Structure formats: C-alpha cells, structure tokens
Amino acid sequence: MKTTRIINGTLLTSGPRHQTLRADLYVTGRRISHIGTVPAEADTTIDASGCVVIPGFVQSHIHLCQTLFRGAADDLELLDWLRLRIWPMEAAHTPDSLRASAQMAIGEMMRGGTTAALTMETVKHTEAALQVVEESGFRAVVGKCMMDKGAEVPAGLQEKTDASLTESVRLIETWHGRDEGRVRMCFAPRFAISCTDALLREVGKLAAARGVMVHTHASENRDEIAIVEGETGLRNIAYLDSVGITGAHVGLAHCIWVNDMEQDILAHTHTHVLHCPSSNLKLGSGIAPIVEMRKRGISVSIGADGAPCTNRLDAFTEMRSAALLQKMRLGSQHLTALEAFQMATWQGACAIGQADEIGSLEIGKRADLAVVNLNTLHAAPHPDPVSALVYAAAASDVRDVLIDGRMVVQNSELKTLNEAEVLASVRREFAALTARAGIV
C-alpha cells in the first residue's frame, strides 16, 4: 500500500471534538494511520510548513451538469431562471457535453479542497457524470434528476413516472457502492412542483428499502411554496413529510422559508438541511434561518449549488458567506468560524451518511484531506487558523489534496484530470449546447 507523510503542518481536525494540533499525519493506503508520531519514511512526503491540514470539504448540494452553464443565467429569480435558462440547457445536454461539465466541476472543486459532494444531475445521461466521478478519483453521491410533472418543462426533460423510477433504480443497481463506496447513488426528485405525488411516495419507499439517500430541493422560493400549497393544501416541508420524503437519509436543499412547524418536522425526523448561501443571495431567494435550525438540533451542511446560480463551486466562499449572513441577521456572535468550518466538513459528511468515514481527521478514517497555505499576504498572521481559513483564505490557497489516500491535486496541479483538455472540451461543448438550446 502507498504511504504519504504530511509533516510540519497545523491540523484542524473538525468533527464534534475539534482540535487544532501541531502534529504530523501519516496515510497508509486509503486511510489515516497515524497522527502525532509518524513513521520516518513514506512513498511521498509533503512538507506543510505554514499550512493547515484539513479534512476535505464535503459540499452537500451540487449540480455537476450545470457547470457548463456558468454565466449564462444571471439576474433571474428561481422559477424564471429554471424555465428560461436552466431547463432548456439541461434538455440540450448530450453525453459529451455532460462529461465536459462534470469534469470542469470536479476539477474546480478538487482544486479548491472539496473531496466529496452530493450531486443532482439532469434527467438524461447521468452515466456520463458517473464515469467522470469514477475516473477522477472524486467522492460523490450522485442522483439522476426525476421530473414527471410540469406544463412548462421542455420535452427533453419530460418523463413518465415508471420510466423515471426504473432508470433511477437501474443506476443505483449498477453504480452504488463502487470503489469501496467512493461512488454512491441516491434518488433525486427535483422538487415538489416537478414531481407527481405518486413518484414522491414511491421514491420514499424505494429509498428506505434500498438504504440510499433522497436528495431534493425544498422551500427555496416563496412562489414555489405558494404553488405547492395551492396544489396540496400543505406547506412544502409538511407535504414532503406526508409522502415519505423526510428522515435521516434525506437531504433538502435550501429550506429558506420554513416556519416553526416545518422546523419541528425537520428536527423530529432528523432530516438534513443543505444550505447554499451564495446561490440564495444571487437568485434573490432569501436568507435561511440557519442559527434557529441548528439550535433545534437540525443538521445543516453547506454546498455551492450549481455554477449558474453561484458562478463558482467554492467552499471557502460558502463558509464565509454562511457565517457573515447569520451575523448580519442576528448579531456578530452567531455562527462562528469553527461552526462554519464544521458545516463544510463534518456536517457535510453527516448529511451524506458517511461521518464514520470522512469529514474529520481521525486515525482509521479515509484519507480525504487538503493542505491549505496560510503563509500569504491575505491570510497572515493567522493567530487563529480556523478564523484565517474561513474568513481570509481562498480556494487558490489549496496546495495538495488527497481522496482515499490518492493524490488528486499536487502543488496546485490536478493529477487525475488534464486541465487544458477539459477547458478545450468545455469551450467546444458550450458552443454546441447553447446552439441546440437556442440560447445566445
């Protein structure tokens, strides 16, 4: 088994018992084998002087398929953003364009210290994204988007209930658990207004029976909530609960407009909230009551969402934004840097059901970690390295990244993707896709 020795760094362990340690770390095979006193020899030695060593970020709400649309859907609110831009472009995807989009997204995230993500793809061609996850060494829980309702949905995204369920199950049976669980699958109904009651109820049953996650959107926009309430007589979270889409295996993206009753449901059912602060700001959707939900014991993690509604898949931006927004709402003492860091690491691991394997630096856990340089003009002198990481550091400060003990970024260079080839593919596929979608 290959070994890696990381010396002279400061470890930010995260997890419920977070520690800041001046210590070395040793990786044997896929796992962390020593912290503190480490063997003197290794296949690879990383000198982390001036750096912090952190568990890799776990982004709990991402759309790999949308990265190709970056900059093509600005200055719109959610429902118009979907109808006028995102759905037509998703419907125009081919396997080649989706592959380019996924490569760009995963390359960007790995370069920025993200080692795992919960992703929702589009209705078709999900296998192209899965192939990129597998080849790149990234860790992901991937879901095929499910949409069996909606009058304004493009033909390329319309599907029958049974066909949607059948294809989702096929992908789960084919891909779930590959490479010792690095590649996993989930059910991903888009949101309540694009899914029938029958589909949602069956997803709830199948997910429980098969032991996989459900990943969907909820209560992101007030118009969305009004539509759900008009159709069902229930507020969004209460409706999802009524059809079996709550629980410890469920992640609900956004949850901005949730009242006390709905927060009680989330807490009681142990449902995970997937917070996307930059997306919520850019779409003008609102600011989620994160502090209040955390006080109720609700698990809240962080994701960048899709590139067209945040423009960069950057965990540093999301940590900083999450903390600053809650301070603006409630006062400067709320949502500390450490809490934001834990949301971006350990809580993300909890959200995807892998906190026993990733999300903190502990002996025996998977070696998903990043080395971040804080010896920079914008981050020095960092008396509190957690504060420096959350409020001052940037994605470009990430120097080295390991996933499952494999070096995927070394000295800021991608090792499992060819960046020049990815960018060339992105330029070619973006031009072709926007032509197919009729978007200038």
Side chain identity, residue 238: A
* pTM over cut 0.85: yes
Check if the beta carbon of residue 193 is closer than 8 Å to that of residue 150: yes
Side chain identity, residue 125: H
Two tokens, residue 157: 């995204």
Instruction: Give me the percent of the chain exceeding a pLDDT of 90.
Output: 99
pLDDT score recorded for residue 250? 98
Instruction: Give how far Cα 2 sits from Cα of 31, 44, 137, 316, 339, Å.
Output: 10, 8, 15, 30, 34
In this prediction, residues 128-147 reach a mean pLDDT of 98
Two tokens, residue 383: 């008396």
pLDDT score recorded for residue 340? 98
Q: Which of 278, 237, 340, 307 is nearest to 89 (CA)?
A: 307
Two tokens, residue 387: 């504060």
Sign of CA dihedral 354, 360, 365, 369: positive
Question: Helix, strand, coil % (nearest 5) of the chain?
Answer: 45, 20, 35
pLDDT score recorded for residue 233? 97
Q: What is the pLDDT of residues 29-60, one digit of tens each?
A: 999 999 999 999 999 999 999 999 999 999 99
Check if the beta carbon of residue 28 is closer than 8 Å to that of residue 3: yes
pLDDT score recorded for residue 8? 98
What would you measure as the largest C-alpha separation in the chain, in angstroms? Answer: 66
Q: Which of 34, 49, 19, 54 is nearest to 401 (CA)?
A: 54
Identify any residues that bridge with 409 across adjacent strands, giving them in sequence order: 401, 414
Check if the beta carbon of residue 188 is closer than 8 Å to that of residue 212: no
CA angle, 60 as apex, 366 and 152 as ends, to 5°? Answer: 145
In this prediction, residues 333-362 reach a mean pLDDT of 98
Identify any residues that bridge with 366 across adjacent strands, giving them in sequence order: 31
Is 440 a residue whose pLDDT tops 90?
no
pLDDT score recorded for residue 103? 98
What does the DSSP 8-state code read for residue 309? G
Q: What is the pLDDT of residues 298-321, one digit of tens each?
A: 999 999 999 999 999 999 999 999
Is 10 a residue whose pLDDT tops 80?
yes
DSSP secondary structure string, 146-188? E----TTS-GGG---HHHHHHHHHHHHHHHTTHHHHTEEEEEE
pLDDT score recorded for residue 132? 98
pLDDT score recorded for residue 21? 98
Is 152 a residue whose pLDDT tops 90?
no
Q: Which of 9, 34, 116, 23 is nearest to 358 (CA)?
A: 116
